[in-house]
Structure 1
Amino acid sequence: PQKYIKDMFYLQYSAYTGKEISLADSSKTSVSDVNVLIDLVIDFMFEWNVPFKEGYKQLPREERYFIYQCCRHRRCLVCGDSADIHHLDTVGMGVDRRKVDHTQKHVMPLCRTHHENYHQLGAEKFAELYHVPINGIKLDAETLKKLGVKGNYESQ
């Protein structure tokens, strides 16, 4: 089964790029090709629910894409458990979240444990401890709607 999955991944890469996977010094693989490969590996791991183990601590070079996929699949950026979308820019106490334009807010997917930990440590210490970006990402209206984040997206 492991060889089958590997062969399937190689075939997927080849079909997507028209090239073979090669990271050998003598290959003609460009940096752009490697970035596509990284994105495909991340997609593959989410789609096939491959455990990341320590991968969350060692974010890939394209960390924004990785964070986006964690949001999309509701996986905690730190541990990979089921996550909620945590707003890094405070929405405000007593504010009706359904009337907020969440596309203007920075977010990070965190499980309940790491969400509480974020509030205990503060943004800087949390980012340093878990090797995650301090500012998270912004999501577009379409992604937020798919994730079920209710808000005011009339202008989107």
Structure 2
Amino acid sequence: MTELFAKLNKVDPNKGLITLQLSTDDIHTLEKYHANGQQQMVSLIASDENGVSAQQRKFAFALLHDIWWSQVGGQWIETPETVKQHFYAMYEYYNSLDFGEFSLSAAKGTKTDTNQFINMLLDYAAVHDISLSVKPLNELEPQEIARWEYRCLLDKRCVICGQAHADLAHADSVGAHGGNRQKINHLGLRAMSLCRQHHQEQHKIGIQSFMNKYHLNGIKIDEKIALEHGLNIK
């Protein structure tokens, strides 16, 4: 059995038909199973507002696979399953849950727990400089994007692609606050962390168009961010 993820586009209750939107890879997978001429049975699980969404689950499993593929962490990194069980146990321990209580399943898991679990995986990937196969901005829930933006500023990691050694890029015009980057007080000014390629794109298309394109809000510089980037706060 192979688990696929799809977006529900249309429901026709009169004909008992639904239309799903799948990725190209998942469509190829279905075609492969259908090639033998046998009728395929598909299980459909609908998630409510509090349940784990298909997007959350797909993103979490992609992060777990990236961590396993990196082979960073010790003996428990043996297989994708041992990696999953290790992080399940970590999440349960740090959140005072009973063993086996956490789950990414659509039937048992919750949206809140899964968001926190994903954040834990992103933190681990950032600390160990693990390359990600998917872009967090495309997968995170809207309320979680600000946390990712803040983390990238502290880690000097591109908020778009995750590349290390990124630069701090101001979202608010420095010119409107005195113009001299060395002398102005940076506290409260919005910023983001961008690699050279995305920093150049930001200058090319303009800050507001860039932020709209990637659904960024920018993070107000606090003392921790200013200290990490050597910014003046007086």
From 118, 135, 141, give the equivalent of 1:38. Answer: 118
Residue 143 of structure 1 deviates from its aligned partner by 2.9
Are 1:76 and 1:83, in contact at CA under 8 Å, matched by a contact in 2? yes
CA distance in 2, matches of 1:23, 1:5: 14
CA distance in 2, matches of 1:95, 1:139: 17
Residue number in structure 2 paired with 1:24: 105
Q: Which amino acid aligns with 1:52?
A: L
Is 1:70 aligned to residue 152 of structure 2?
yes
Q: Give the TM-score of the pair, scaled to structure 1.
A: 0.80
What secondary structure sits across from 1:127 in the alignment? helix
CA distance in 1, matches of 2:126, 2:209: 28
Residue 25 of structure 1 deviates from its aligned partner by 4.2
Bigger relative CO (Cα 8 Å, ≥ 6 apart): 1
Residue number in structure 2 paired with 1:150: 231
CA distance in 2, matches of 1:56, 1:25: 21
Change (3 A) 1:65 1:22: same
Is 1:58 aligned to residue 138 of structure 2?
yes
Q: What CA RMSD, in Å, does the superposition of the two structures yield over aligned residues?
A: 2.4
Structure 1 unaligned spans of 5+: none
Residue 67 of structure 1 deviates from its aligned partner by 0.8
Residue 45 of structure 1 deviates from its aligned partner by 1.8
Residue number in structure 1 paired with 2:79: 2
Runs in 1 of length 4+ with deviation above 4 angstroms? none
CA distance in 2, matches of 1:25, 1:54: 21
CA distance in 2, matches of 1:57, 1:35: 13
What secondary structure sits across from 1:103 in the alignment? coil
Structure 2 unaligned spans of 5+: 1-77
Is 1:105 aligned to residue 170 of structure 2?
no
Are 2:135 and 2:162, in contact at CA under 8 Å, matched by a contact in 1? no
Q: Give the TM-score of the pair, scaled to structure 2.
A: 0.56
Are 1:59 and 1:132, in contact at CA under 8 Å, matched by a contact in 2? no
CA distance in 2, matches of 1:23, 1:91: 44
